[in-house]
Amino acid sequence: MGLWDYGSRLVSGLSGAGAGAKTGTGQSQSGKGLIAEANPMLGHAQTIYSVLAPTQKPDYDPVRYKRYVLLTTDGGTISVDVAEPELQDAWRDDAGVEHEHADGHSKTKTDENRPTVVIAHGLTGGSHESYVRHLISHLVTPSPQRPASKLYRCAVINFRGCANTPVTSRQLYSAMKTADYASGLSWIRNQWPDSVCVGVGFSLGANVVSRYLGEWGDQAQLWGAAVLAAPFDTLAGSHSLESGLLGPIYSKAMCNNLSALARAHKDTLSLDKSLRPALRHLLGPPTDQTDQLDRERHQKRGTLKWVDDTVTRLVGGHQQPFGLFPFESSHAYYSNAGALSVLKHVARPLLVLNADDDPIVAPESVKGVRQVIGLDAEQDVHQDGSARERGNANIILCTTRGGGHLGWWQGNRNPTRWLAKPVGEFVDAMVKGAQDVLASADDALEHSAGPAQKRRTKQVAIEAELLGCELLPAWDVQAESETEEEDARGTESGDKFKRGTQNADNTTTSAKAAALAPVKGGRHAWLLSPVLPLPKGDAIAHDQLLHPSMSSRYSGPAKGQGEILKSFMTVDEEKVEIGYCLLPDHSNVAGAGSIFRGGVDTPGSKESGGAASGSGTIRGL
């Protein structure tokens, strides 16, 4: 039995939505109750309820995590929040307890080879999100339906700047950046080398996971993945959000979410002087100059497209030769970001779950997947008259009747999400298939049904400087340039901002006494050792390492004179943008080593990257 044979059995579980599910075969499975698509506003209702539902409260689907913090090859910081069954309140001693972990929680005999679900969250989300906790609580908590022997480890890879994770480089994240997910996955596979890894992605994270599988093909380090509400066609999605009755409302909310994230990290991003014009444009009040620029670029202030055109296209990922950033425009970014262009290369089982009334994901996304898997093409015929399969057979598309965006609610009173059950069944199927393949595989041969052999890596000696968060100087968005030198660069970088290129400045000016925006507790880790090879010629380092001393307002110790962490970074030998250095708990970066309750007490300083908050922001997208 093939690995996909296990996964294909779960499709019947999707009818639990109560409104049926249209599967990748083009058939429809009817459930009980009214057809959700009868009222076109129900998709909006499910989406909005996701924001207002009591499940946003942390006592719903409670999950306990342990935080691990990784430094990446370009000096960025990501966090991985890991939920083990033993950490949960519902854990009981009848689960085969063997001894105690160093951090105090019980360890079972299956700890090391326990399967791991590797999760990517949605836009400005994190491990605290209700849809993430809904799935994880189902997979880590024993119940009559899920005995202790079928519990999993769940690891949420928080994007840069999300879930109280600081930004320490000039990069944020985007729908097309897979390097951080791959780096987190590399750490997970090294931490638990015998663990079967299955991916799950939500919304923006669903596109990231799908792109990862497509970009890596048969070298992917996952056995399979499930992606929910993925915006596969980001260009069509942008058009959809800028039109219609409620689309602009969602667009404005997502713009506010991303703007709040950029505001939380402006002090770091502004260390690269070439980004300051874009940050002023995004975060400052409108001026005649910015209004003129918006008109020239055909942008409407306060929309998702506007914030992507202003900032995301510049800081959403690596520059060449490691990535495609910066882009000339949001249109160019959207044309490249969607996973549709790489789905044909997916070589692992991929379950695609979308609702037919999702008000944020454009219908073109589902249509595109249908074309990739060959559903909308005429079938070739074998000589015996049977149909020859066309398209990518590794992908199965399930389109539910109703569900909104990351909603999928059921019940009239106190509705609950139903998505954990079918996604859990998919994970079960992948794990069962993987275990069967591994049990029957010849150890001397590399099996083709699962992920490729673990990537070859090298150890690179590095130094990082640990500085208190309060030593990062505050940057005033509305203030004039501090020096004539910066005025000159501001004009130059402003021109380059329009063209979509950067020229970061590496000059460290003399430290000046200045008012700082103190952040109590916590530290940042600033990478001092270049790991990525610097581009040659004028293509200056977008990957240049940032440090607070690059600000004229810096008043801390001279660069390299603070507490120095000497360690090693594990770097992929072929893709050097993929790599990590696990920061020790005593680094006190983003709450490294903390055990916490998801949605209640996420560790790390909120000023270093909390959940999007403020006027007009919406959680759960």
579-607 residue pLDDT tens: 999 999 999 999 999 999 998 999 987 65
Alpha helices in 143-283 (DSSP H): 179-191, 204-216, 234-241, 247-264, 266-269, 276-283
pLDDT digits over 62-79, tens only?
999 999 999 999 999 999
The larger pLDDT score, comparing residue 255 to residue 108, is at 255
The larger pLDDT score, comparing residue 604 to residue 475, is at 475
Distant-in-sequence, close-in-space partners of 76: CB < 8 Å, separation ≥ 6:
160, 167, 168, 169, 171, 180
Q: What is the mean pLDDT of the chain?
A: 82
- Other Cβ atoms closer than 10 A to 26: 10
Instruction: Give one word for 215, left, alpha or beta, with left for phi > 0 and alpha for psi -120 to 50.
Output: alpha
Q: Comparing 240-244, 377-381, 413-417, 477-481, which segment has the lowest mean pLDDT?
A: 377-381
Is residue 584 within 8 A of residue 71, CB to CB? The reply is no
What per-residue confidence (pLDDT) applies to 53? 81
What per-residue confidence (pLDDT) applies to 287? 93
Is residue 585 within 8 A of residue 201, CB to CB? The reply is no
Rounded to whole angstroms, the Cα distance separating 166 from 610 reads 9
Q: Comparing 22-31, 309-318, 364-373, which segment has the lowest mean pLDDT?
A: 22-31
Write phi, then psi, for 334 (nearest 5 degrees).
Answer: -60, -35
Residue 320 has pLDDT above 90, yes or no: no
Q: Give me the mean pLDDT over the 282-307 stretch.
A: 96
What per-residue confidence (pLDDT) applies to 119? 99
- Other Cβ atoms closer than 10 A to 586: 11
* 375 pLDDT tier (thresholds 50, 70, 90): confident
Is residue 62 within 8 A of residue 592, CB to CB? The reply is no
Residue 448 has pLDDT above 80, yes or no: no
Q: Comparing 39-43, 51-55, 327-331, 480-484, which segment has the lowest mean pLDDT?
A: 480-484
pLDDT digits over 420-447, tens only?
999 999 999 999 999 888 888 654 344 4
Residue 175 has pLDDT above 80, yes or no: yes
Q: Comparing 53-67, 166-180, 296-310, 463-477, which segment has the lowest mean pLDDT?
A: 53-67
Q: What is the Cα gyration radius of the chain?
A: 24
First to last CA, the chain: 38
pLDDT digits over 205-219, tens only?
999 999 999 999 999
Q: Give burial (CB, 10 Å; 0-12/13-18/19+) of 359.
A: buried
Q: Comparing 72-76, 286-290, 520-524, which segment has the lowest mean pLDDT?
A: 520-524
Rounded to whole angstroms, the Cα distance separating 100 from 323 reads 43
Q: Comparing 85-89, 335-339, 468-472, 482-486, which segment has the lowest mean pLDDT?
A: 482-486
* 38 pLDDT tier (thresholds 50, 70, 90): low
- Pair of tokens at residue 141: 């908590």
What per-residue confidence (pLDDT) applies to 90? 60
What per-residue confidence (pLDDT) applies to 245? 81
Rounded to whole angstroms, the Cα distance separating 28 from 398 reads 10
Q: Give me the mean pLDDT over the 601-621 stretch.
A: 62
Q: What is the DSSP letter of 275?
A: G
CA 47, chain centre distance (Å):
20
Is residue 578 within 8 A of residue 183, CB to CB? The reply is yes
What per-residue confidence (pLDDT) applies to 104? 42
* 376 pLDDT tier (thresholds 50, 70, 90): confident
Rounded to whole angstroms, the Cα distance separating 147 from 140 reads 10
CA dihedral 234, 235, 239, 241 (to 10 degrees): 20
Where are any strands of DSSP class E within 273-402? 350-355, 380-381, 387-388, 395-400
- β-bridge partners, 195: none
pLDDT digits over 123-174, tens only?
999 999 999 999 999 999 998 889 888 999 999 999 999 999 999 999 999 9
What domains does the chain contain, in order, with CATH numbers?
Answer: 38-98+107-233+338-378+389-442+449-472+558-607+615-620 (3.40.50.1820)
Is residue 413 within 8 A of residue 370, CB to CB? The reply is no
Scored b (16 or more CB within 10 A) or e, 533-546 reads eebeeeebbbbbbb
Distant-in-sequence, close-in-space partners of 333: CB < 8 Å, separation ≥ 6:
174, 176, 234, 308, 312, 313, 316, 327
What per-residue confidence (pLDDT) applies to 412? 82
* Residue percentage of the chain with pLDDT more than 70: 75
| Whether pTM exceeds 0.75 | yes
* 540 pLDDT tier (thresholds 50, 70, 90): very low
- Pair of tokens at residue 577: 């943008």
Residue 99 has pLDDT above 80, yes or no: no
Q: Give me the mean pLDDT over the 468-491 stretch.
A: 69
What per-residue confidence (pLDDT) applies to 327? 98
The larger pLDDT score, comparing residue 475 to residue 388, is at 475
